[in-house]
Chains A and B, each alone.
Chain A
Amino acid sequence: MVLNSLDKMIQLQKNTANIRNICILAHVDHGKTTLADCLISSNGIISSRLAGKLRYMDSREDEQVRGITMKSSAISLHYAKGGEDYLINLIDSPGHVDFSSEVSTAVRVCDGCIIVVDAVEGVCPQTQAVLRQAWLENIRPVLVINKIDRLIVELKFTPQEAYSHLKNILEQINALTGALFTSKVLEERAERETESQVNPGSERGEQVYDWSAGLEDTDDSQLYFSPDQGGVVFASAVDGWGFGIEHFARIYSQKIGIRKEVLMKTLWGDYYINMKAKKIMKVDQAKGKKPLFVQLILENIWSLYDAVLKRDKEKIDRIVTSLGLKIGAREARHSDPKVQINAICSQWLPISHAVLAMVCQKLPSPLDITAERVEKLMCTGSQTFDSLPPETQALKAAFLKCGSEDTAPVIIFVSKMFAVDAKALPQNKPRPLTQEEIAQRRERARQRHAEKLAATQGPASVEPPEDGGAPETSPKGEETKGGEHQVEGETLKPQPEEGSSHESFVAFARVFSGVARRGKKMFVLGPKYSPVEFLRRVPSGFSTPLDDLPPVPHMACCTLENLYLLMGRELEGLVEVPPGNVLGIGGLQDFVLKSATLCSSPSCPPFVPLNFEATPIVRVAVEPKHPSEMPQLVRGMKLLNQADPCVQILIQETGEHVLVTAGEVHLQRCLDDLRERFAKIQISVSEPIIPFRETITKPPKVDMVNEEIGKQQKVAVIHQTKEDQSKIPEGIQVDADGLITLTTPNKLAVLSVRAMPLPEEVTRILEENSDLIRSMEQLTSSLNEGRNTQTIHQKTQEKICEFKRKLEQHLTGRKWRNVVDQIWSFGPRKCGPNILVNRSEDFQNSVWTGSGVKASKEASRYRDLGNSIVSGFQLATLSGPMCEEPLMGVCFILEKWDLSKFEEQGASDKHNQERRDVVQEAQAEGEACPGRGEKGGPQDGGSEPSEQKTSQRGESSLTDCYGPFSGQLIATMKEACRYALQVKPQRLMAAMYTCDIMATGDVLGRVYAVLSKREGRVLQEEMKEGTDMFIIKAVLPVAESFGFADEIRKRTSGLASPQLVFSHWEGTESPAHRSRSQGGPCLPSGTSAGCAATGSGCRDPLCRVLGQAGGPPECVPPLGWRADRAAWCTSQWCGRARGSLLQPCRITTVYVRRQVVPFLTFCSQTGPFLQSRI
């Protein structure tokens, strides 16, 4: 065949009935791309000799190097059969599980698919997955059983064995299809049941339960693959052959004289032929007879292979002549039998013919799109088709009609965006010149050549030609170029590129209805767009031009700029694309992120989002090698995000850029892309920072050996802990109950703070309602300023009441009496899961009180001070004393706040305004004056010196030597909170993922093994109805999740795939804590002792993070080991003297966030060094 010209393709595109949009799906390495190669070679795009070796569709370098396909790419092929010309839009898809998103994008734009199965490996996990995807998208599959040559050459099967093997595979696949079908039927039935439950009135009378499940009623015979229906091709793409039953049926009906229809039915299956009687029997009457398929088909192929592999020249010749083939001399003489087989078979049973014939015959054209599929595409989520507005429903007809009239609405679905080097675009590409132009140029070149000869000073001419950027108008450049490309025809210069954008995005799309024309205005509908919304905003029958429509969310207008015919790595420019075709659209990158629906009518709903088999789960943090290249990285990541349908990119609160990919291979590809295409910078990749939260717990009731801690002991413990409260400096009062009393540096205010753990439910409620709290905060602040602009919405009011009621419900008991009414603030950031409670008598500013109370002017000053205290609380909750991580689930109670001295000054201040100038006393005296501590002390100017001092202060109270008073209050409050925490048993909380794993029953054990190894906890396990899949729900610490998905996939050979979603924070009770936790800080030097004593692995999250579990020896992290990005350790050998005994220890000090945390000192005893020391 000859290379089809572009015009021919354009011609073919117009005949919608003869278009087939197909994709090739299979497990990795089952030969998709090889098959695609064979099909492409039939069009003469590549040589048939190279078919199977070139992997034409793998245009990326890493695809070629690794030998796996990583993206789906399309090519249009021409196929002529029985006088009809067909256009086949073939899409090759990747088989690796990491790229299953690419499969989804391919499946969406197709009407049918070829499922390829390796004859040796049979059905593999991805085969199941792609079958499921095809099923979900309602596209019709045909089957190619590939690599049959391996059965002959590698496994050395006899034809009989091969037959039973093939039968087996076919049964497996049909079983899978059956399972999909059953689950669908069951689902539908369940739906119907719920519906009937909703409106039970109609069927009340009937009590007969329908046990049949509807399975029997539904016809499923069409679903299954069977060779006699023509839906199966047996092939070896590498050797270039393939056949359907039909091929042989035709031959043998002539040879044996049995009707073709009969042969079609009997060639596959347990049918036997009686050659003498020319009869086909159902049962094997003479034992040892072979089924028809073996006798008539397989044996012939086997004997051919046998002859070639044994180099039986005569036999080969005989076979070749009997088949009427012509083998080129070169192939015949070739020493490699593979080449010979290829040469013979590809002529005898050309695979492209077999496959394409089947495709044309069995798979639907775009015109045959089923109503069911259309409805499915149009209804997102739980919507039903009937609920769509009538304008939208009307579009269904257009879908079904797939008409190319001008009146037909244009509907295009963009399933992915892919990046193309701008140079590769047709309009920028050097295109071949016409004859006249070539002649012209030649003439010019000749002239110039003559001139040059005349000048005979040639050195300047040999300048290498530069592509792209350089202005190409200089005659010299043209000349050299012309000389080089003489043979292929001269080239036109590419358009000078604008800016530095080397990557241009092309949308991978399909026209579902109407004709896509260049320059046509279209609506771009994002995945969240709703036609209902549009119809509401825009009156029906609008006639305004598209440009000045009111803005509707998730909708934009664009003009179709460039349309392309996708030809693998090549693109060909088109002017218009008739319906039913796959096409590329340029210039959409500003409108479409990953996928979108384009429509000429705004009433079109966006198509259902693509359903991805694999969700992205592998997370890494990406940073530029050179910090100054941050902007490039961000830009590159944005491009990557657009170019890859599956990747997710986040910026975390910590400022990290996190890349979430579907798997390791996918990650590798993304990073390569980022480095070489999109960002073009060096990047470094690491595990992302694991977040933690700090909290406190109740003091334990039992000690390490589960003995109850008596009251006496408790007191003793408190005394002891007080002694080693080395963290708490002098001058701070701590009472036995953990009440901290702290004075500001200028001694004007005294704060008493206590920390208490909040019950878990309360923390949960607070977390859930953080948005509500935030809106409450905004409300109060606006009220504070007397701006009543925001009126409280009724609903919000109700919500607040509900929230308060819930809190009250959970905060019961003596300790929590009235607490809810005294809540002052939440933190951190005023909406977090920590509470500040004010227990002082004169407190009235709780979060619940609205405007009324605060209006008083008197409160204004008071409020400023209050604000400072709240700020202090906010700061304290933002970073805890242990690791500077945010707090969670802690209630700080401000038991007393003695601002009397300050107020007193404020009061006297007013009195003595006029006397101010007289007084010139040192301020320090005033602060140091001890006698004025009591409440209700001299207020109204009773004592002269005090008055003078305070009046002086009135001016400068906020600028004494300790800085502004508000700042002092903030700092004091913060410190008080920190100390209050430190006297309680502190805990770290680890982030937890919930993890949903779908796995088949046989790999369940391995899933559990991986889960338990990584500290996961299984919550529930249930079987999915109608399948053999189990769904396991588990929780897993985030710290353990790196590599988890990969491990689970490896261990289960891809049969289980986990999905991780952040769920909650969990503090784990550790034995290490219990040993010392009676009031002391969480991880004192006793940690290791605790671990050692219990002997088991330490379950503390911090401990785990630091030392990867285990007792003392394991607890010692390796030198320079990094616990977290912010924590690091050093470790040295030093001595520890205990009495007379010298005990060498390895002291590892862990620094957490620039703070030396001495209580994280791990010690371990190690023998050998004892010697070296003494």
Chain B
Amino acid sequence: MSIFTPTNQIRLTNVAVVRMKRAGKRFEIACYKNKVVGWRSGVEKDLDEVLQTHSVFVNVSKGQVAKKEDLISAFGTDDQTEICKQILTKGEVQVSDKERHTQLEQMFRDIATIVADKCVNPETKRPYTVILIERAMKDIHYSVKTNKSTKQQALEVIKQLKEKMKIERAHMRLRFLLPVNEGKKLKEKLKPLIKVIESEDYSQQLEIVCLIDPGCFREIDELIKKETKGKGSLEVLNLKDVEEGDEKFE
């Protein structure tokens, strides 16, 4: 065993350690900070960008490299790079506070962007800006949950924001073409799902143009398919009913 002196010691700085326990032993690899997440999400493809060194350690901070026989017994191979990859994908990482912070911040922004994208000011039928939504989210003290998808959380945020400000999901404009005999019956069933009926036309077919909450789309779609046995059709005229173009105050 070599003498442990400061001069011949190669110290790795800026390390994020990824650990894995296998066959009763602990293995570690040294990675760059922030990069492990990138690797796992598939943004980073270059292994060299992630790993500080291709060797597998028992203890990174002490610089103790894992023994070959241990590797073979645990992983069935002594190809260090291969093992590194395994550990990278399956091992546990300590997420640094900065990483977590940026992740949370990013999610927060994502949520705000989704909300801004989906919602309008019901008075003007125009979207809110992301900045404004972010501010509103801070106002209601919304805390981001990392284990939920941003879309899910965005829907939650919309619900909470509705109490504070005038915000509503942008309506979807649909057109139904229903056979007349079933149309009447179906219309009653559809009614609770529809927000505004813009036009109705009973010539050979019942034609309805209406605004709905996008959340109900699936339900409506299924209902029509089921009730009319495929004869009725549904057409999306507009995904988001928002005012277009600039408007001048007059």
Residues on A lying within 8 angstroms of B by beta carbon are 593, 621, 623-628, 630-631, 634, 637-638, 641, 648-656, 686, 689, 726, 785-787, 829, 860, 864, 867, 871, 875, 954-955, 958-959, 963-964, 966, 970, 1125-1126, 1128, 1130, 1132-1138, 1151, 1153-1154, 1156, 1158, 1172-1173
Contact = CB atoms under 8 A, between A and B. Distances in A.
Interface in B120-154: 120-121, 123-124, 126-133, 135-136, 139, 150
A648 B247 CA distance: 11
B171 to A, nearest CB: 16
Contacts of A638: 249
13 contacts: A625-B135, A626-B135, A627-B135, A651-B246, A653-B246, A654-B127, A689-B129, A871-B239, A1135-B14, A1154-B106, A1154-B109, A1158-B43, A1173-B13
B188 interface: no
B229 A637 contact: no
A146 B126 CA distance: 53
B35 interface: yes
A649 B249 contact: yes
B126 A1134 contact: no
A145 B113 CA distance: 60
Interface residues of B, number: 65
Given A651-B124, A1137-B48, A1173-B14, A627 B136 contact: yes
B166 interface: yes
B150 to A, nearest CB: 8
B128 A650 contact: no
A162 B177 CA distance: 89
A655 B222 contact: no
Contacts of B104: none
B129 A623 contact: yes
B131 A864 contact: no
B132 A623 contact: yes
A163 B127 CA distance: 65
B129 A959 contact: no
B233 A650 contact: no
Given A867-B236, A1126-B130, 16 more contacts: A623-B132, A627-B133, A634-B124, A651-B124, A651-B246, A655-B120, A655-B128, A689-B129, A785-B201, A786-B204, A875-B239, A958-B221, A958-B225, A959-B225, A1135-B14, A1135-B52
Given A628-B165, A787-B203, A1154-B110, A637 B249 contact: yes
Contact of B48 (A959, A1138, A1156): A1138
Contacts of B177: 785
Listed from nearest, the 9 A-B pairs whose CB atoms lie closest are: A627-B136, A655-B127, A649-B249, A1154-B110, A628-B165, A655-B126, A1154-B113, A1137-B48, A627-B165
B176 to A, nearest CB: 12
A873 to B, nearest CB: 13
Nearest to A642: B249
Contacts of B165: 627-628, 630
B121 A655 contact: yes
Interface string B19-33: 000000000000011
Nearest to B109: A1154
Contacts of B121: 630, 655
Interface string B34-76: 1100000011010011011000000000000000000000000
Given A627-B165, A1151-B106, A1154-B109, A864 B233 contact: yes
Contacts of B34: 1132, 1134
A591 to B, nearest CB: 13
A1137 B247 CA distance: 53
A623 B222 contact: no
A871 B234 CA distance: 13
B155 interface: no
Given A652-B246, A1151-B106, A955 B230 contact: yes
A626 B165 CA distance: 9
B126 A651 contact: yes
B97 interface: no
Interface on chain A toward B: helix, strand, loop, or mixed SS?
mixed
Interface in B202-250: 203-204, 207, 218, 221-222, 225, 229-230, 233-236, 239, 243-250
Contacts of B186: none
B126 A1125 contact: no
B248 A649 contact: yes
Given A631-B123, A864-B235, A1153 B246 contact: no
A180 B234 CA distance: 67
Given A637-B249, A864-B233, A627 B139 contact: yes
Contacts of A593: 250
Interface in B84-118: 98, 102, 106, 109-110, 113-114, 116
Contact of B114 (A628, A631, A1154): A1154
B164 interface: yes
A626 B34 CA distance: 35
Contacts of A958: 221, 225, 230
A638 to B, nearest CB: 6
B233 A860 contact: yes
Nearest to A1137: B48
A654 B244 CA distance: 9
Contacts of B133: 627
A1174 to B, nearest CB: 8
A1154 B114 CA distance: 9
Contacts of B132: 623-624, 627
A1013 to B, nearest CB: 28
B169 to A, nearest CB: 14
A381 to B, nearest CB: 20
B136 to A, nearest CB: 4
A648 B133 CA distance: 25
Given A627-B139, A955-B229, A1134 B129 contact: no
A964 B236 CA distance: 13
Contacts of A634: 123-124
B246 A1134 contact: no
A285 B234 CA distance: 103
Given A649-B249, A651-B126, A1151-B106, A1134 B33 contact: yes
A650 B32 contact: no
Contacts of A686: 131
Contact of A655 (B129, B207, B235, B236): B129
Contacts of A621: 129
A503 B113 CA distance: 37
A1133 B246 CA distance: 42
Contact of A650 (B116, B201, B235, B248): B248
Contacts of A726: 42, 45
Q: Which of A650, A653, A955 has the largest count of B CB atoms less than 10 A from its CB?
A: A653
Given A593-B250, A650-B246, A653-B244, A1137 B129 contact: no
A1172 B249 CA distance: 58
Contacts of A650: 246-249
Contacts of A864: 233, 235
B40 to A, nearest CB: 13
Nearest to B127: A655
Contacts of B243: 651, 653
A87 B120 CA distance: 56
B207 A785 contact: yes
Contacts of B245: 653
Contacts of B45: 726
A77 B207 CA distance: 71
B137 to A, nearest CB: 9
A871 B222 CA distance: 19
A726 B113 CA distance: 25
A593 to B, nearest CB: 6
Contacts of A786: 203-204
Nearest to B233: A864
A1133 B136 CA distance: 32
A659 to B, nearest CB: 10
A799 to B, nearest CB: 21
B32 A1135 contact: yes
A638 B114 CA distance: 30
